[in-house]
Amino acid sequence: MKNLSKIISFALILFSIFLLAYVFYRAEIYHSGEKISFYLKYYIFSILLFIFSIIFLFLNNELKKIISIILFSIIISFYMIEAYLFINSKQYKIITSEIDYDYRTQYEAYKDFQSKEKEIVSTIGPVHSLKTQNQSLFPLSGISNSKTLLCNENGFFTLYQSDRYGFNNPDYEWDKKKIDFLIAGDSFAQGWCVNRKDSIAGILRKKFSNKGVITLGQVGNGPLTNYAALREYLSLVETDKVIWMHYEGDDLSGNYFQGLKQEIKNDILNKYLYNLEFSQDLYLKQDQVNKVVRKILDFQINEYQFSGKSYMDFKYTFFKFIKMFKLRNFIDLKLDQIQNKNAKDIQKINPEYKLILKYVKNIVEENNAKLYFVFLPELNRYKLRVNDEKFNDYQKLINFIKSLDIPIIDLHEEVFKKIKNPKSLYPWETDVHYTIEGYKIVSEIIGKNLK
């Protein structure tokens, strides 16, 4: 028994050291210190565990036995909860569902499509260029005139043929004398992860009898990138209405307002904010844009940056289970729920964002068009069951948009608040983008307001 106590004591010390080293690696090396706030709790836990393991070493054997039984019981209980959460997860629902789900990773799908069509590319948003140093050009679109692999959230991978400027539009839209709507936004505006006809732009084209609709949406776009895209491409078309899509959730690896802080750090994007005459004339440099984006894509492929893991990858699923991935996410969600119920202000609206919206309105009106602000709520609002006006400074944002005399299409008020289970509009109630039906409902409301 004495030897067993020693083994347990030293095993606990070694585990706490390993855990601390692993947290350090993930926080400081893998994420380059950019997610320190996320890993802080793991730092605290691993340090406390190390201190406890040292104290445990010097306890008498009887006390060690009691503590070991308690710890073992707690760990078993945690894994039982993890198993329960897994059975109620999207992953389990997909594996056990009757639909023919495509289990390939993004990388696997890309390689399979490429073997049949060599020139196929994968979508690469401007967000991947944010931290590039000494740029001569900042791309605001993807690779032009190419079959482009998008994503899989609904069980199938989507592809589209990009237009002459690398956006998700039929190329002929740019040849129309006049288009009805020009859309600026992130992945929701781009049409993740549905076929073009089921995207917001696609449904609006159909709703308005195939009249002109162009989207400049790109995955990961924050407000400054969207504004820059309008500065570069708005003057190329004649339109009556410009739709500005504001998603309140994660963009640029953070809240929409927080993401703006990253955009401002980029030298080229910063010029759009503080030099109203600045332009890259990207519509004349599509060959250069293609080369820059292609270089990023090649790096992503070589480094397996977008490989992800298949739901059928047993090894990956097993290690997620061992690390209690779902239990930790569940605890984080509950902590967020407590924080959001007690907080007075969740996020501050950046002064720069207010400035950008004023500039957006000015350039839209200079082009004889009208600006519409579309508010897309994030899924966490409904996961946390927080509909409070304070969430993400929702009411302050809405009031500011009203002060600019910009018409608002508030999908939180007009769609999600009115249905019994708003999570049902997301694939398996988990992903950040909509189901096909979700896109349809949202687009119908947008179209109704635009009419």
pLDDT of residue 383: 76
Question: How high does pLDDT run on average in the chain?
Answer: 86
pLDDT of residue 289: 97
pLDDT of residue 230: 98
pLDDT at 179 > cutoff 90: yes
pLDDT of residue 248: 85
pLDDT of residue 337: 60
Q: Which of 100-109, 233-242, 255-264 has the highest mean pLDDT?
A: 233-242
What's the pLDDT band for 356 if we cut at 50, 70, 90?
A: very high
Residue 290: its H or E element: helix 286-302
Where b means 16+ CB within 10 Å and e means fewer, 195-218 reads ebebbbbbbbbebeeeebbbbbbb
CA distance 200 to 196: 8
CB atoms within 10 A of CB 151: 23
**Residue 338, amino acid:** I
Q: Tell me: the pLDDT tens digits for 118-129?
A: 889 999 999 999
CA distance 323 to 375: 36
* Lowest-pLDDT choice from 82-96, 110-124, 213-227, 378-392: 378-392
**Residue 91, amino acid:** Q
pLDDT of residue 343: 47
Residue 335: its H or E element: helix 325-342
Token pair of 1, please?
A: 């028994």
Q: Tell me: the pLDDT tens digits for 202-211?
A: 999 998 877 7
325-342 vs 314-322: helix axis angle to the nearest 10? 50
What's the pLDDT band for 313 if we cut at 50, 70, 90?
A: low
What's the pLDDT band for 359 if we cut at 50, 70, 90?
A: very high
Report the predicted TM-score, pTM, of the whole model to 2 decimal places. 0.82
CA distance 54 to 410: 55
Q: Tell me: the pLDDT tens digits for 246-260?
A: 998 754 434 456 678
> Hunting for tokens 């993400």 — which residue is that?
392
Question: Which residues, in sequence order, are bridge partners of residue 244?
Answer: 184, 373
Average the pLDDT over 50-76 and give the result: 88
* Lowest-pLDDT choice from 17-21, 138-142, 299-303, 356-360: 299-303
Please report the domains of the chain, with CATH numbers, ordered by start residue. Answer: 106-310+346-450 (3.40.50.1110)
DSSP line for 357-426: HHHHHHHHHHTT-EEEEEEE--THHHHTT---TTGGGHHHHHHHHHHTT--EEEHHHHTGGGSS-GGGGS
Q: Tell me: the pLDDT tens digits for 407-422?
A: 999 999 999 989 988 9
